[in-house]
Structure 1
Amino acid sequence: MIVAIVACEIGFWVLLIAGLAARYLLKARRLSTALLLSVPLVDVALLVFSIIDLRSGGESSVGHGLAAVYLGVSVAFGHQMLSWADRRFAHRFAGGPPPVRLTGRERAAHERRMWVRHVIAYVIAGLIFLLFSKLGGDASQWALFRLWTIILVIDGIVSFSYTVRRPISSAKER
């Protein structure tokens, strides 16, 4: 199962980089679009592989739990990751504007939005965990989900700390 996850992660980055290279280096807009639209197929392949593995007698395992986490994160953050890579690729190879560094309230709002995406990833993965548990008959992957719950709470505290903390420079001025 771990091999499938690693293969999907490699497939994600290969398709993403190939799509961006086709867009900015080769100026092949249609090829770029086809490659970038095929990136979500990596997630579909992992989901199908996991279901086939469980339906053919495989027991639900931590590997399946990691696949659920991967899928949840990919669905919740996938578009943003594509946009992030696109902006940097455009800056590096096509004279696009440099990436913007967020500060102050914009950074705080961004961190809160990222935490909401994290919650969405958590919920999606939880549903996939449930599906895998029903198909595999074993709940061993839920230990991973409990760990993720702790990580989600810590991420929430950190994300919202950007909203309430005072910048260091203004603290020194007082």
Structure 2
Amino acid sequence: MVEFVHQHLWELFIAIEIVFWLCIVLFVFLRYVLGLRKMSIWILPFFVASVLADAYLGWIDYKSTGEFSIFQFIIVITVIYAITAGVSDFRRLDAYIQRKVVKWKGEAELEISVKSPPKYGCEHARHERYGWYMHVVMFVVAQIAFFYLFGTRDQFSVDEWFAFEFYRTWLEDEALGAYEDVKLNQVVRAWFIVLIIDGIISLSYTFFPRKEKNEE
């Protein structure tokens, strides 16, 4: 069984994602098209099961090879996203679909607790900061997971993570990361650069708020 799963990791991962999106379609159909809101709740456990199934695939891959792989990285990011930003994103998607379906059916729009993301001003800046904070949380949680799953190189000390010199050297040489696996260091380094760029863009709205086009 384990050997079969390991030989078909990508096929099973894609199948799980297809089931996940089919569950979303079924959830929307039951909840808003048929009006079976209570019944639609029974679809939610399948979302949790899909996350657990992804985690199981990642564990099988690591157990079989004993090495880090891109597949495991994708699994870790998928699981971390699902238990952090994924929840709020799903709520916003639910609210968006509810508005569209209600408008399509020509019914009175119900009160929706989840509002659309703000586009201008201080509210937009706050929303961008929150999105970046969640990105930071995902990055930190991923490092903790990598630390316990794959371990660090022999010469590495956790204190280095709090030293500026470590990051300067790391950005110059991607092989000098915290982990023994060079590929993992390369992936984490690329992610760290994206995190920094995301932070600069997100925080820029705090100092230069986006204004409406008709605003002088």
Per the alignment, residue 18 of structure 2 pairs with 10
- Indicate the residue corresponding to 1:133 in structure 2: 150
Q: Which amino acid aligns with 1:68?
A: V
Are 1:34 and 2:42 an aligned pair?
A: yes
Aligned partner (choices 94, 105, 108) of residue 86 of structure 1: 94
Which protein has the larger Cα radius of gyration, Structure 1 or Structure 2? 2
Give the alignment of 1:9-158 within 5 angstroms: 9-57=17-65, 59-95=67-103, 96=109, 100=116, 102=118, 103-134=120-151, 139=181, 140-158=183-201
Separation in 1, partners of 2:50, 2:15? 9
Contact in 2 for aligned 1:77/1:117 (Cα 8 Å): yes
Q: Describe the superposition over 1:103-123 as per-residue Cα deviations: whole angstroms up to 9, x where unpaired.
A: 101000000011111111112
2:187 alignment partner AA = L
Q: CA RMSD in A?
A: 2.7
* TM-score of the pair, normalised by structure 1: 0.82
Write the letter of the residue equivalent to 2:127.
H
- Conserved? CA contact 2:61–2:72, under 8 Å: no
Point out 4+ residue stretches in structure 1 off by more than 6 angstroms: none
Shift of 1:160: 0.5
Distance 1:29 1:63, change over 3 A: same
Higher mean alpha-carbon deviation, 110-119 vs 35-44, is at 35-44
| Relative contact order, higher structure (CA 8 A, sep 6+) | 1
Gaps in structure 2 of 5+ consecutive residues: 1-8, 104-108, 152-178
Q: 1:129, 1:157 → 2: CA distance?
A: 25
Q: Is the 8 A contact 2:121 2:211 kept in 1?
A: no
Aligned to 1:162: 205
Relative to structure 1, the CA distance from residue 12 to residue 122 in structure 2 (aligned partners, 3 Å threshold; closer, same or farther) is farther
**Percentage identity across aligned positions?**
26
Q: CA deviation at 1:138?
A: 6.6
Q: 2: distance between equivalents of 1:91 and 1:75? A: 25
Please give the secondary structure, in 2, of the residue aligned with 1:147: helix
Greater share of helix: 1
Q: 1:148 to 1:13 in 2, by over 3 A?
A: same
Please state whether the residue corresponding to 1:11 is helix, strand or coil. Answer: helix
Q: 1:18: how far off?
A: 1.6
> d(CA) in 2 for partners of 1:8 and 1:159?
33
Task: Count matched residues.
Answer: 170
Contact 1:65 1:145 in 2 (8 A): no
Q: Which moved more, 1:84-93 or 1:34-43?
A: 34-43
